[in-house]
Each structure stands twice: as structure tokens, then as C-alpha cells.
Structure 1
Amino acid sequence: MKILVFGARGSQQFNVIEIAKKKGAEVVAATSSEKSFDKLKNAGAEPVIGNMSDAAKMNEITKGIDAIAFMIPVSLPNPFDGLDYSKNVIDAAKANGVKKIVWNTSGWVPEQKIGVPTDDVKLDIKDYLVNSGLEYVIIEPTIYMENMMGGFCAPFIKSEKKLAYPTPEAMPIGWIASKDVSAFVVEAIYNADLKADNFQISGLENLKGNDLADRFSKGFGDHIVYYAQPPKEFKDILAPYVGEAGASAVASYYESLKTATVYPPKFNPEMNKVLEKLPVKMTSLEEWAKDNKAYFSN
């Protein structure tokens, strides 16, 4: 099995390399910069230059590939560029006889367009993939535990003993570890019975802000309180990393939550059914905080 991974240099897809290698796969990792080559090689992948905006390059690097672990960049300056990027990959996969695409959507996809570009474009991508004629599995994860490692959160834990996140305290979330999502992606690639399937996945606990801080505190070994971060503060901290436009696009989603009377669901109470088809050992928030204590301490 030869698997082409997109987004492998980032936390969302990096673990796909190790998990797929353990199953005996040959892994090729597409990246837009040679600066990532050493990291990808050390993880066991063959790095290749492949900017998703380049249709010819996508056609070149998908030759000889059996399956694709696919995702689009989260913080594009123009989120709607994600549709063109996706078309380039999907068209190349179809032309070169790729057997299956597994798409990590980086969040649950809404049932209809809601006026948030980063979410709305995923509906167009989904339509294009579903109608491509390729075998596919769509993996929709909730919010990543690794998001707490961002510059808008981690420094608050160390300096103020606050777990900062731009969601209201009352909003429950089934936080999920990125390594678990990567495991779902790999299991979906290897499950031959899955050919046109969609899974909404979450962690096994549905935690409001104070519950989140409690679980984190137990794993971290110190008392941490929840801080519902104002979206503008979040955007200002994020902008130097992803650019003003990208930060504004992401922050607009969190801004909409401030006045929400009903919060969007971020928890699947029927994960047991998902785990029957995609057997993955799930990571609890407490376990994750314990495993990453050194990161937040330093």
C-alpha cells in the first residue's frame, strides 16, 4: 500500500505517517517547502514538493499512489481557494487510478451553508468528492486537543494558570487528540468495506469549559481554570502565525458563538458505533494533558 499524505508536516496529519508505517505502508508526504523534508524523512515518509494549487504537480505526485490521506490548509487567506485545491487533487487521483481518498475535514461539516467561509467551502468540496466516482471516506473530527498548544492558549497556562479558548464556558465539546484522528484516517484507508462513508468523530467526553479545565488540571498536576477568551484577543494572537485574513476567517466562527442561543454540536454520543467499524484506542483529555505536561510547563 502506497499512501500519499497531505498536511503531514502539521499536527493534524503528522501521525498518519507513523500509524500507516506500522501497518506496512509506504508513505509519501506532500509539502510546499523543502524546509519540512528532514522532519518528514525522520518520521519515515518520502517527502515530495507538491503545492495543491498546481494541478500539473498533483497529477505528477499521485502517479502510483494507492490511497490519499487528504486535507486542505485550515487558514487560507481566501478559504474558497480550498475548493480549487481539492479539485486538483481529486481530479489527479481519478486520472491516475487512486483507489481511495480519506478526507480529514478539520471540523464537522455543516448540513447547509452558514455564512462562515471556512465551513461553507467544505460543503462544495464534499459534493465534488462524493460525485467524483472515487471510493472515499470522510472523517469529520471535532476540536483538536492540540489546539490548546497554540500561542493563544499555552502561554496562559504557564503564566496565569488559565486554559484560554475562544468558546463560551457553557459550550460542550468532545475534544479529540490528533493522533486518534490520524488512526481513524489510516483505519479508513485499510477497511475495504468502506467505499462511500462519512463519520463524525469526537472524544468520548463532552466537556464544558470548567469540566475541560478540571480534566486538564488532573493530567497536568496543577489547578488550571477556564478562560473564555474574547475572539478579538484570539485573532490578534493568531494573526502573526497565519496572517490577518486567515486569523479573521477563523475568529469569525468564534465570534458567532458569543450570541448563540443553541451551540453547534461538537460531540458524537454514538462513538461506539464508529469504533466498531474503525477500531481506535481513544485518548482522554486527562491522559493527553499528562502526556504533554512538559510542553505546557516550558
Structure 2
Amino acid sequence: MKILVFGATGSQQFNVIGEAKRKGAEVIAATSSEKSFERLAQAGATPVLANLNDKDKMLEITEGIDAIAFMIPVSLPNPFDGFEFSKNVIDAAKANGVKKIVWNTSGWIESQKIGSPVDDVRLDVQDYLKNSGLDYVIIEPTIYMENMMGAFCAPFIKNDRKLAYPTPEAMPIGWIASRDVSAFVVEAIYNAELKANSFKISGLDNLKGSDLASEFSKGIGEEIVYYPQKPKEFGDILKPFVGEAGASSVAAYYESLQNATEYPSKYNPDMNEILEKLPVKMTSLAEWAKDNKGYFIK
């Protein structure tokens, strides 16, 4: 099995390399920067320099590929470019007879367009993939545990023993580890019975803010309390990383949650049914925190 991975330089797809290698796959990892070559090679992949906006390059690197683990870059200056980039990959895969595409959507897909470019583009990509004639599996993860490593959260844990996140304390979330999502992606590639499937995946525990802090505390062996961060504070911290417009858009979303009477679902209670088709050993929040304690606590 020869697998081409997009997004492997980031935390969401990096673990696809190791999971695929454990299955005996040959892994090629596309990257837009040669600076990533050494890290990708050390993980066991063959790096290839490629930009998603280059149609000819997509045709070149998908030749001889059996399956693609795909992801749209998270922080595109223009989110609508994500659709064109996806089309380039899907068209190249079809032209070269790639057997399957497994797409990690980086979030649950909305039922209809909501005016958010990042969310709306996912619907366009989903339609294009479904109508491509290719075998596909769509993996829709909920919120990543790795988000807590961000600049808006980790320093609060290190300095104040507060787990800062801009969701209301009462809002439950089924946090999921990125390595679990990568395992789902690889299992979907290898399951020949899955040819036109979508799975909304989450962690097995639906944790409100205080529950999240409690499980995190168990993992690192220190008392951590939940801090429902103000959306503006969150946006100000995020601004240097994604720009003012991007930060304002995300902050506005969290502001709407603060004022909501009902919260959007971020948890799938039917994960056991999915695990029957895609057998993955799930990581609890406490286990994840224990594994990453050194990142948060000196």
C-alpha cells in the first residue's frame, strides 16, 4: 500500500505516518517547505515538495498512489482557496486511478452553509468528493486535545494552574486526541468495505469545563481549575498567529456560544458503533494529559 499524506507537518495529520507504517505502508508526505523534510523522513515518510495550488504537481505526485490521506490546510489566508486546492487533489487522484481518499475535515461538517468560510468550504469539498466517482471516507473529528497546547491555553496552565478555553463551563465537549484521529484515517484506508462513508467522531467522554479540568488534573497529578476564557482575550492572543480578521471571526463564534441557551453538539454518543468498523484504541483526556505533562508543567 502506497499512501500519500497531506498536512503531515501539522499535529492533525503527522501521526498518520506512524499509523500507516505500522500497517506496512509506504508513506509519501507532501509539504510546501523543504524545512520539513528532515522531520518527515525521521518519522518514516518520503517527503515531496508540492503546493496544493499546482495542478500539474498534484498529477505528478499522485501517480502510482493507492490511497490519499487528505486535509485542507487549517490557516489559509483565503479559506475559499480550500475548495480549489481540494479539487486539484481529487481530480489528480481520479486521473491516476487512486483507489481511495480519506479526508480529515478538521471539524464536524454543518448540515448547511452558515456564512463561515471555513465551514462552508467543507460542504463544497464534500459535494465534489461525493460526486467524483472515487471511493472515499470522510472523518469528521470534534475538538482536538492538542488545542490545549495553543498559546491561548498552555501558558495559563503553566503559570496559573488554570485550563483556559473560550467555551462556557456548562458546554460539554467530546475532546479527541490527534493520534486517535490519525488511527481512524488509516483504518478507513485499509477497510475495503468502506467506499462512500462519513463518520462524526469524538472522544468517549463528554466533558463540561469542570470535568475537563478534573480529568486534566488526574493526568498531570496537580490541581488545575477551569477558566472560561473571554472570547476577546482569546482573540487577542490568537491574532498574531492567524491575523486580525481570522482572530475576530473565531472570537465572534465563541462569543455566540457564551450567549447561547443551547450548545452545538461536540460529542457522538454512538462511537461504539464506529469503533466496530474502525477499531481504534481511544485515548482518554487523563491519559493524554499524562503523556504531555512535560509540555505543561516544568
TM range, smaller chain: over 0.9
Aligned to 1:258: 258
**Secondary structure of the corresponding residue to residue 17 of structure 2:** helix
Q: Percent identity?
A: 78
- Bigger Cα displacement from structure 2, 252-261 vs 280-289: 252-261
Q: Deviations over 1:133-173 (max 9, x none)?
A: 00000000000000000111000001011101111111100
Show structure 1 runs of 5+ residues with no match: none
1:119 aligns with 2:119: yes
**8 Å Cα contact 1:204/1:284 also seen in 2:** yes
Paired with 2:255 and 2:117, the residues of 1 have a C-alpha distance of 14
Q: Deviations over 1:167-194 (max 9, x none)?
A: 1111100000000000000000000000
Q: Could you tell me how far 1:235 is from its partner in structure 2?
A: 1.8
- Bigger Cα displacement from structure 2, 222-231 vs 192-201: 222-231
Q: Deviations over 1:232-255 (max 9, x none)?
A: 221221222233333334333323
| TM-score, scaled to structure 2 | 0.98
Q: Map of 1:1-298 to 2, 5 A cutoff?
A: 1-298=1-298
Show structure 2 runs of 5+ residues with no match: none
Q: Deviations over 1:82-126 (max 9, x none)?
A: 111111111111111110000000010111112222111111110
- Which letter does structure 2 place at the counterpart of 1:49? L
**Secondary structure of the corresponding residue to residue 38 of structure 1:** helix
- Which letter does structure 1 place at the counterpart of 2:120? D
Q: Deviations over 1:17-50 (max 9, x none)?
A: 0010010000000111011111100000001111
Q: Deviations over 1:183-233 (max 9, x none)?
A: 000000000000000000000000011110010011111111111112222
Paired with 1:93 and 1:243, the residues of 2 have a C-alpha distance of 33
Paired with 2:247 and 2:129, the residues of 1 have a C-alpha distance of 27
Paired with 1:116 and 1:242, the residues of 2 have a C-alpha distance of 15
| TM-score, scaled to structure 1 | 0.98
Q: Deviations over 1:240-296 (max 9, x none)?
A: 223333333433332321222211100000100000000000000000001100010
